[in-house]
Amino acid sequence: MGVISTSRTLFTPWNISLALIVVIVCTALFCALHPRPEKVKAVSPERLEALKRWLPPEKPAPPQPPAKRTEWHPFWTVLTAILGYAWVGWWAVTRGTVTLELVNLAFMCTGALLHWYPRRFLEAVREAARATWGIILQFPFYGGIMGIIQYSALAKVFADWFVAISTPRTYPVLAYWYSGILNYFVPSGGSEWIITAPYLLEASKGLG
């Protein structure tokens, strides 16, 4: 169906009017709900201290195990940001347009750079979006892995590999064990299928 412009979704007069009405009504409602001065209860200093803004975790002191060193090394943050910005710039220059996905990618790269360390960025996103932080962070990378596999020769290489070592009877068992191992690295059934579908389906067709 093609690309739907944001002028037909986010920025329609109906949507903008609805947003303004919500702001006006909520502001008026909050003002009406606020108690009169003589009925206001003060918050204790201890409670205010407990409600202070979130502070990022501090980098642990060495020595650190390999996994923790990876979490607290800026290399991955910088590499991700460089690749993300390069893709956004390439798309904008060659296609002459910027999509919402590119805006989200640019914001994610900027947030990662500002936090500098991968672990600090992870904790910040988890604190800000407790219910959806895993989807916000992981699924863009899963989509990238899927794109690399699907739009390169890797899908055919993997499919040929499965066909070479499988028969129609052993293929389900091999695919089952392979998916179980992959699940340690991609701990989500839906996203794992997004990544493996291009070549597992091709292998299934090759084995009849």
For residues 105 and 99, give the distance between their C-alpha atoms in angstroms, rounded to a whole number. Answer: 10
pLDDT in tens, 23-60: 999 999 999 998 888 888 888 887 777 777 777 777 77
Which position has the higher pLDDT, 73 or 25? 25
Model confidence at 72, in pLDDT bands (50, 70, 90)?
Answer: confident
What pLDDT, on the 0 to 100 scale, is given for residue 30?
A: 93
Model confidence at 189, in pLDDT bands (50, 70, 90)?
Answer: low
The set of residues, in sequence order, having a beta carbon less than 8 Å from that of 98 and lying 6+ positions away, is 88, 91, 92
Tokens of 40: 């206001």
pLDDT, average across residues 129-148 = 79
Our measurement of the distance from residue 144's CA atom to the centroid of its chain's CA atoms, rounded to an integer in Å, reads: 11
Which position has the higher pLDDT, 189 or 145? 145
User: pTM for the whole thing?
Assistant: 0.57
Tokens of 36: 């009169």
What pLDDT, on the 0 to 100 scale, is given for residue 188?
A: 66
Other beta carbons less than 10 A from residue 207's beta carbon: 16
Tokens of 133: 């932080």
pLDDT for residue 85 is more than 80: yes
pLDDT for residue 16 is more than 80: yes
At 48, which amino acid appears?
L
Range among 90-94, 97-101, 172-176, 188-192 with highest mean pLDDT value: 90-94
What pLDDT, on the 0 to 100 scale, is given for residue 19?
A: 93
Q: C-alpha angle 193/86/103, rounded to 5°?
A: 70
Burial of 135 (0-12, 13-18, 19+ CB in 10 A): middle
pLDDT, average across residues 147-169 = 76
Q: Can you give the residue ranges of every domain in the chain?
A: 74-206
pLDDT for residue 73 is more than 90: no
User: 150: closest CA among 200, 185, 111?
Assistant: 200
At 166, which amino acid appears?
S
pLDDT in tens, 117-138: 888 888 888 888 878 887 888 8
Which position has the higher pLDDT, 185 or 61? 61
User: 155: closest CA among 101, 205, 189?
Assistant: 205
User: 77: closest CA among 29, 121, 118?
Assistant: 118
pLDDT, average across residues 74-81 = 88
Residue labelled with tokens 């642990």: 60
